[in-house]
Amino acid sequence: MNEKFLKYIEKIDMICPYLKSSIDKNLLNCTEVVLSSENTDEKLSKYIFYKSLILTEKFRKARHNLSERDMIFYTKNIIFDVDDLSYRQWEKIISWSHYTLKELFSSEQIMFGKFWKGEEIVSKITNKMLPIPEITFISIRTAVKSRDPRLLSKIKEFAKIIKESNFKNKVEYPSYILKNYKLLEFEDLCESGYYESLKRKLTDKLLKK
């Protein structure tokens, strides 16, 4: 497992009450993806979305085989490594992908955490500064409905969705990103136009608010 990721996990272990059990139960998973810095910010955002989409699908299937008790400890993390990106670039690149994933899967009781290299943020639970990540990653886990809406207090729409969510719900993908009822491979997803279509729809939605 990535050393920088492990170090960060050790630092936030006291803040997150589920991490130790997640590690003890061997339910903490980590995947690394290296992307070229020659890509534009928009392409990097698209690639991050599709890589995360594929991993979310794996998360959904694996979660289905867990007991409801163990579901809250199961987490998949995807680390994105791109050289020479600034703090501000990372924030812009990862934020749109993160928002799109939340729009798609919050109703399925799935939470997505975004952490980027150099991020400075205060915990919504403890009101203390969180450790600064040395890596950029997206974390995928089952929402804890008694606790997580507090993390979304500034985004009331998502807080409400999480409160009413159910892991038995299922997002229906458009047929053009499926083959034999399974997601296309990464390269084919990148050519599908799905990300661009979602971004247009969500942009229109945000503009109407």
pLDDT tens-digit readout, 78-130: 999 876 777 778 888 899 999 999 999 999 999 999 998 888 888 777 778 88
Above 90 in pLDDT, residue 205? no
Domain-wise residue ranges, the chain: 3-168
The b-or-e profile of 138-165 (16+ CB within 10 A means b, else e) is bbbbbbbeeebbebbeeeeebbebbeeb
Above 80 in pLDDT, residue 155? no
> Shortest CA distance to 137 belongs to which of 117, 111, 151?
117
Q: Report, as an integer, the average pLDDT of 139-153.
A: 85
Q: What is the pTM (predicted TM-score) of this model?
A: 0.91
